[in-house]
Structure 1
Amino acid sequence: MDASNGRFEERPGTGARDHSRRETEEERADRRWNELIQEVRVAQTGVQILFGFLLTVVFAPRFTDLSDTDRTIYIVTVLLGSTATGALIAPVSFHRIVSGRRIKPQAVVWASRLILAGLILLLGTLTSALLLVLRLATDNTVAPWLVAGVVAWYLLCWFVLPAWARYRHTTAD
């Protein structure tokens, strides 16, 4: 039993079982890895499609008509999209390189961190892409307000509600 939270939990290297699920550390790592990969597939697909589209924008005839500010926003968007793609694909590479080394629990932790970083970078990509599109499609004075509203929605859905649920439904005993 873990004294810090009062629950039965696995002890690395002990083969102890999680009594709430009746799984060993390795079984838990396998389950968590499978869940993690299922979760990341959604974000990976979306960011890859967005990034692919962003790469084609520079070849559009109207690209040369963009202001310096809009070109800067575009470059930032492409860089954010590229780094988000890298972070969200990284767990696959990480798993492949460490596969068979009996460090899956640690790999799950690192993959989870990479995915969180990828989601934060995806937030930046979507924000800057939306800013660029809305600057071109609306009056520049309203675009930042619209983007701020959408970013607030992303933050609420992606981080605030999950954090609230974690706090609300995680017991200390």
Structure 2
Amino acid sequence: MSTAAMVSCDAWNRDERDETRTQRLDRNWATLLQELRVVLTGVQLLTGFLLTLPFQQRFTALDHELRLLYLATVCCSIAATVLLTTPVALHRMTFRRHMLCKLVAVSHRVTMVGLLLLGAAVSGVATMVFDVIAGRGAGVAAGAATATTWVALWVALPLVARRGTRADVLR
């Protein structure tokens, strides 16, 4: 798309959505919260599940490599939980300080990192489950397939979908 063909983001929002910069920030914040509602239950359940594993009888039967994978996976899951709940804490700490632009920008960034860590945690869980049930080769294959799928759907697909567009950056 040529620069001449691009209309400014503010003009597009004003003309097509009839919204001010503040209304756009409010919409962006509401959209982010809706997305977080979808993912938070899953990441919290995954983290809770992982935290109970060491207390199961068969956990002691895991070899050294699986225990290391477990620790890496639980770290990714805990970090994802922390990052994906960070926007709520940021909102509480910046409430009534007229920082919505910064809140939306920072929350977007931490959510992106949280989603990447969630993908890593899910891949680790797939590896562990298949390893324990079907052996090391199946575990590695399941983990690689899961990682490939989430990279394809959570990273590559959105990057391809946004090709030819530009970000609606708030200034």
Name the TM tier (shorter chain).
0.7 to 0.9
Aligned residues: 164
Q: Structure 1 117/171 Cα, relative in aligned 2: closer, same or farther at 3 Å?
A: closer
Identify the structure with the greater helix proportion.
2
- Greater displacement, 99-108 / 86-95: 99-108
Q: Is the 8 A contact 1:8 1:19 kept in 2?
A: no
What are the equivalent positions in structure 2 for 1:73-84 lying under 5 Å apart? 73-84=69-80
What are the equivalent positions in structure 2 for 1:64-75 lying under 5 Å apart? 64-75=60-71
Q: Structure 1 171/118 Cα, relative in aligned 2: closer, same or farther at 3 Å?
A: closer
The alpha-carbon deviation at position 145 of structure 1 amounts to: 2.0
CA–CA distance in structure 2, aligned partners of residues 104 and 23 of structure 1? 16
CA–CA distance in structure 2, aligned partners of residues 5 and 97 of structure 1? 41
Structure 2 length normalisation: TM-score?
0.88
What are the equivalent positions in structure 2 for 1:5-44 lying under 5 Å apart? 6-10=6-10, 18-44=14-40
Q: Is the 8 A contact 2:120 2:147 kept in 1?
A: no
What are the equivalent positions in structure 2 for 1:50-69 lying under 5 Å apart? 50-69=46-65
CA–CA distance in structure 1, aligned partners of residues 57 and 91 of structure 2? 42
* Amino acid in the other structure paired with 1:55: L
2:113 matches 1:117: yes
The alpha-carbon deviation at position 9 of structure 1 amounts to: 3.1
Q: Residues 40-83 of structure 1, C-alpha deviation per residue, up to 9 Å, x if partnerless?
A: 11111110000001111111011111111111111111111110
What are the equivalent positions in structure 2 for 1:82-93 lying under 5 Å apart? 82-93=78-89
What are the equivalent positions in structure 2 for 1:76-155 lying under 5 Å apart? 76-155=72-151
Following superposition, which runs of at least 4 residues in structure 1 exceed 4 angstroms of deviation?
A: none
CA–CA distance in structure 2, aligned partners of residues 5 and 62 of structure 1? 62
2:40 matches 1:49: no
2:69 alignment partner, SS class: helix
- Greater displacement, 130-139 / 51-60: 130-139
CA–CA distance in structure 1, aligned partners of residues 4 and 71 of structure 2? 47
CA RMSD of aligned residues (A): 2.1
The alpha-carbon deviation at position 84 of structure 1 amounts to: 0.4
* Amino acid in the other structure paired with 2:98: R
Q: Is the 8 A contact 1:87 1:115 kept in 2?
A: yes
Name stretches of at least 5 consecutive residues in structure 2 with no aligned partner.
Answer: none
Percent identity among equivalent residues?
A: 33
The alpha-carbon deviation at position 18 of structure 1 amounts to: 3.0
Q: Is the 8 A contact 1:8 1:18 kept in 2?
A: no
* Amino acid in the other structure paired with 1:78: V
Name stretches of at least 5 consecutive residues in structure 1 with no aligned partner.
Answer: 12-16
